[in-house]
Structures are given as C-alpha cells and as structure tokens.
Amino acid sequence: MTIRFHSFCFLIAACIFLSNCKTSHNTPIPNTQKTSLNDPFKETIVPSQFFEIKGNENNVLEGEQGTVMVFRKVVF
C-alpha cells in the first residue's frame, strides 16, 4: 500500500512539473539590469551577448572582443 501511495504521489508531482514546462525556444530573454546605481564599474561593463549552442555537439564560442569559450558535448 505504501509503495502504491508513493508512486501515485510521484506521478502527480511529475504531471504538475511537466505541465509547467514550455516548449517554445523562441522566448525572448528579458532585459535585466546588470548594475546598481552606485556601481563603480558601470561605465566599463560591455553589453550582453547571446549564443545558441547544441548540447550534443562540441561548441566553440567567440565573443565580439575575442573571448573564447569551449563547451564539450554533453556538458549540459
């Protein structure tokens, strides 16, 4: 009886969790504030850059100012 109850609770929790998942990959990223009013570095912070990568492939990203990031497949 206890195993059935736990399985039922797990099934309900999984259904609730999965019903809240979004399948759209085109959701815009909201504009966020990167600095506070008293931030001494706010004049030197560069604009954000966004990249799309595939988790099942090796990825090498290069930023506009030469920053290079390497992500091996299956790290995400």
pTM for the whole structure: 0.46
Residues 32-45, mean pLDDT to the nearest whole number: 82
Q: How many domains does the chain have?
A: 1
Amino acid identity of residue 39, one-letter, is D
Q: Is-contact 65 46, C-beta < 8 A?
A: yes
Comparing 40 with 20, the larger pLDDT belongs to: 40
**DSSP code of 43?**
T
pLDDT recorded at residue 71: 92
Instruction: Show the domain range for 59.
Output: 52-76
pLDDT recorded at residue 72: 92
Residue 33 lies in a domain: no
Reported as a pLDDT band with limits 50, 70 and 90, residue 48 is confident
Question: Distance between CA 15 and CA 9 in Å, rounded?
Answer: 10
Number of residues that this document lists for the chain: 76
Residue 21 lies in a domain: no
Reported as a pLDDT band with limits 50, 70 and 90, residue 39 is confident
